[in-house]
Amino acid sequence: MVDYGIEYWGKDDFIIEDGQVKVNYKSKPALINIVKQVREEGYRGPLLVRFPHLMKKQVEKIFTSFENSIKEYHYKGKFKAVFPIKVNHYPNFILPLMENTTHRCYGLEAGSKSELIIAMAYTNDNAPITVNGFKDKEMISLGFIAAKMGHDITLTIEGLNELETIIEVAKTLGKPYPKIGLRIRLHSTGIGIWAKSGGINSKFGLTASELVEAISLLRKNDLLNKFTMIHFHIGSQISDISPLKKALREAGNIYAELRKMGAKNLNNVNIGGGLAVEYAQHENQQNRNYTLAEFSGDVVFTLKEIAKNKKEPEPNIFIESGRYVSASHAVLIAPVLELFSQDYDEKSLHLKDKNPPLVEELVDLYNTINERYAIEYLHDSLEHMESLLTLFDLGYIDLQDRSNTEVLVHLIIKKVIKTLKHKNHSDIIRIQEQVQERYLLNCSFFQSLPDYWGLEQKFPVIPLDRLNRRPTRSASLWDITCDSDGEVAFDKNAPLFLHDIDINQEEYFVGFFLVGAYQEVLGMRHNLFTHPTEFSVVFDEEEGGYKIENLLESQTILDVLEDLDYDTKEIERSLKQRLEDSKEISEDAKKEVLGQLYIMLSENGYLRTVFKNGGEKS
Ligand SMILES: *Cc1c(COP(=O)(O)O)cnc(C)c1O
């Protein structure tokens, strides 16, 4: 697996060339060079790199695919889309997304008051806003204000009480009214780990009898002409297209029936989100069984059939894809701080004049490893280690013997791997689980990959360079939180190999891809590690070169504490006072320590380590 499955997850967004991961756009810069450029400015710790051209690319793909399907089936409805803000609500995502899609009918979806404010401020002119989720009177009034500003806004009703509030607000605020949508409760459900948004027991939507009731309420209050959309959302990351088709048939028929009941302005079917992203890094582990073209074709075809059978006009199609639009735009880059076994070198071996016989055997194995018997020797040494550890527990060997055992076994593992490097890789694969290397990464999985922790969602991982060298170490990844869940464990069904490097001499960076959807917004400050330093790589469309923009440094320790509502002035005062009261150090030293403290408080909390030769790293 030297290409790390880039053809599956990278599509043609990223490529491997000259042993480096490169952005497959314009001047095709290597990620490692972008990283080095930013680090030269003194930024340390993990980096989140955004690529606005990939936001645009995904939106274009969706529009092109639906436009092609519409043409193919001579479909009469139009295609429109919105981005659900909850998937990535950061300004460095939302603003470039809107700037890059002005030529499309592409707006925003809001699910809370704060999101609605973002949508009202940043949705492009003539692009739609849809509002889902539970709403109170204030939020509904906000929707009316948006309509008065000239926004094309649809409030999607999740329950009859919301409709009653709309009727009430309409009386006080008057025209223009926002458009009204109804979220329908389907009996079809999605599948996969996120499939909780559909089905008869789902949290959202109106049942058939509530829909009938809603129509009569709308008619009675002279609002039926504002009812223009039905909406459903069967859950995120739809892996199989058949539940979607089933949901579409159900929704299409509801659309036609509601029109027959007199909802003559109902002309939009909003199919929600759920378009899946391919995260797989290995053959035969793909996350979805359909292409975008198949998806759009099925949607258009199904709605066309229903409209024809029921003799109703073909509705406009709305989509609210979040994951598919945003996942690929962001890459998390983590510097490797340490290889767990790196300290096990020959210098740490302190053999005695007389060693326990099994230790002597380990020495012998180490000195005589050859290609032919390498695996056998490795197994022998692992067995010897087990025996020696038991001897230690029983009190027969001392700590020095135990240390020599650990060092020797690590040396043997490394030598075996080196010996087999040019041979059949499957030999190494056979022993991979027993001899993993642990790579300590300067990042927090809780902050930057929360779905890995919460849902075991895998993200593609790849080192940024050395890709023309075969990686030999089966790897598990550790983050710097003090939590044993902060680990991406080695998985023999989806093995990860990394390079054997001397981290005291060389830098090594690992990239996690497709982290632009949900990860940033769900990330948590476990151990008070905050969001990484982030920036956008913006390409010059004519010249092809790129610029670093929107650089936002990771929060300082003081800022993090202030966000938690600590009184940071008091913290500073208290630290100073305690230092002044201390009798342990001289007055001069106190000043120096205080200076150091202040510098630390103004830096971010990620680790700053140095090369053994003194140069700064990580
Ligand atoms: C979350 C959500 C979406 C986005 O789903 P994706 O799987 O990210 O495309 C769309 N619509 C609604 C109503 C949602 O709640």
Which of 145-149, 212-216, 472-476 has the weakest average pLDDT? Answer: 472-476
Q: Are 453 and 446 in contact (CB under 8 A)?
A: yes
Q: Whose CA is nearest to atom 15 of ligand 1?
A: 233
pLDDT at residue 6 greater than cutoff 60 = yes
Mean pLDDT of 295-324: 97
Name the strand (E) or helix (H) holding 617: strand 616-617
Average pLDDT over residues 431-451: 89
For the stretch 86-109, what's the b/e string if a residue is b when 16 or more beta carbons lie within 10 angstroms of its beta carbon? bbbbbebbbbbbbebbeebbbbbb
Q: From atom 5 of ligand 1, which residue's Cα is the shortest distance away?
A: 273
Q: Which atom of ligand 1 is nearest to the CA of 321?
A: 9
**Cis link prior to 178 (omega < 30° from 0)?**
no
Q: Which atom of ligand 1 is nearest to the CA of 86?
A: 1
Least-confidence region, from 48-62, 424-438, 468-482, 534-548: 424-438
pLDDT digits (tens, 9 = 90+) for 230-287: 999 988 899 899 989 999 999 999 999 999 999 999 999 999 999 999 999 998 888 8
Tell me what the mean pLDDT of segment 444-470 comes to. Answer: 94
Task: Report the pLDDT averaged over residues 359-378.
Answer: 92
Q: What is the predicted pLDDT for the residue at 214? A: 97
Q: pLDDT at residue 66 above 60?
A: yes
Query: Who has greater pLDDT, 436 or 514?
Result: 514
In the reported structure, the alpha carbon of residue 83 is separated from the centroid of ligand 1 by a whole-number distance in angstroms of 9
Predicted confidence band at 181 (pLDDT cuts at 50, 70, 90)?
A: very high
Mutate to test the pocket of ligand 1, among 88, 115, 233 (most ligand atoms within 8 A of CB): 233
pLDDT at res. 345: 85
Looking at residue 424, its pLDDT comes to 59
pLDDT exceeds cutoff 80 at 423: no
pLDDT of 196 above 80:
no
The CA distance from 100 to 122, in Å, is: 12
Amino acid at 614: G
Q: How far is the CA of 85 from the centre of ligand 1 (A)?
A: 9
Answer whether residue 106 shows pLDDT above 90. Answer: yes
Beta carbons of 560 and 447 less than 8 angstroms apart: no
Q: How far is the CA of 234 from the centre of ligand 1 (A)?
A: 9
**Which pairing describes strands 47-50 and 330-339: parallel, antiparallel, or unpaired?**
antiparallel
Residue 167 has pLDDT above 80, yes or no: yes
Asked whether the beta carbons of 307 and 257 are under 8 A apart, the reply is no
pLDDT value at 121 more than 90: yes
Is the pLDDT at 531 greater than 80? The verdict is: yes
**Rounded distance, CA 388 to CA 252, Å?**
70
Please give the Cα distance from 236 to 190 (Å, whole number): 8
The ligand 1 atom nearest the CA atom of 132: 13
* Ligand 1 atom having least distance to the Cα of 276: 7
Which residue, judged by its Cα, is nearest atom 12 of ligand 1? 272
Q: Is the pLDDT of residue 428 over 80?
A: no
DSSP 8-class letter at 317: E
Across 111-125, 402-416, 445-459, 576-590, the highest mean pLDDT is recorded for: 111-125
What is the percent of the chain with per-residue pLDDT over 90, rounded to a whole number? Answer: 80
Position in ligand 1 atom list of the atom nearest CA 518? 8
Looking at residue 294, its pLDDT comes to 96
* Centroid of ligand 1 to alpha carbon of 232 (angstroms): 10
Mean pLDDT to the nearest integer, 593-617: 81
Please, what is the average pLDDT of the chain? 92
Tell me phi and psi for residue 227, to 5 degrees: -80, 110
Mean pLDDT is lowest, of 1-10, 228-237, 590-599, for: 1-10
Using most ligand atoms within 8 A of CB, pick from 87, 203, 238 the residue to mutate for ligand 1: 87
Residue 322 main-chain phi, psi, to 5 deg: -110, -60
Q: Which residue has the higher pLDDT, 613 or 328?
A: 328
Compute the average pLDDT of residues 552-581: 94
Specify the residue with its C-alpha closest to ligand 1, atom 2: 273
Ligand 1, atom 10, lies closest to the CA of: 273
What local confidence, expressed as pLDDT, does residue 456 receive?
87
- Tell me which residues have their CB closer than 6 angstroms to ligand 1: 84, 86-87, 132, 233, 236-237, 272-275, 320-324
pLDDT of 543 above 80:
yes
Over its C-alpha atoms, the chain yields an Rg (Å, rounded) of: 30
pLDDT at 194 over 50: no
| Alpha-carbon span 91 to 86, nearest angstrom | 12
322 C-alpha to ligand 1 centroid (Å): 6
Based on the number of CB atoms within 10 Å of its own CB, is 476 exposed (0-12), middle (13-18) or buried (19 or more)?
Answer: middle
**Index of the ligand 1 atom closest to the CA of residue 320:** 10
Q: What pLDDT sits at residue 615? A: 64
Which whole number is the average pLDDT over 8-26? 96
Q: Ligand 1 centroid to 487 CA: how many Å? A: 28
pLDDT over 80 (residue 433): no
| pLDDT confidence tier of residue 549, bands split at 50, 70 and 90 | very high
Q: Which atom of ligand 1 is nearest to the CA of 275?
A: 9
Among 507, 514, 515, 508, smallest CA distance to 532 is for 515
**Which of 419, 427, 341, 413 minimizes the C-alpha distance to 378?**
413
What does the pLDDT look like over 382-416, one tens digit per residue? Answer: 999 999 999 999 999 999 999 999 999 999 988 98
Which residue of 204, 236, 279, 295 sits with most ligand 1 atoms within 8 Å of its CB, as the best mutation to test the pocket?
Answer: 236
Mean pLDDT value of segment 125-147: 96
Q: What pLDDT shows up at residue 197?
A: 52
Amino acid 1: pLDDT = 47
| Mean pLDDT along residues 311-330 | 98
Per-residue pLDDT, 547: 97
Q: Which of ligand 1's atoms lies nearest the C-alpha of 326?
A: 8
Our CA angle for 239, 242, 244, nearest 5°, is 80
Report whether pLDDT(192) > 60: no
Note whether 166 and 157 are within 8 A (CB).
yes
How large a percentage of the chain has pLDDT more than 70? 94
User: Sorting pLDDT into bands at 50, 70 and 90, what band is 609?
Assistant: confident
Prediction pTM value:
0.93
Q: How far is the CA of 304 from the centre of ligand 1 (A)?
A: 24
Is 546 a residue whose pLDDT tops 90?
Answer: yes
- For residue 191, pLDDT over 60 is answered with no
Residue 437 has pLDDT above 80, yes or no: yes
* Residue that the structure tokens 């936001």 belong to: 55
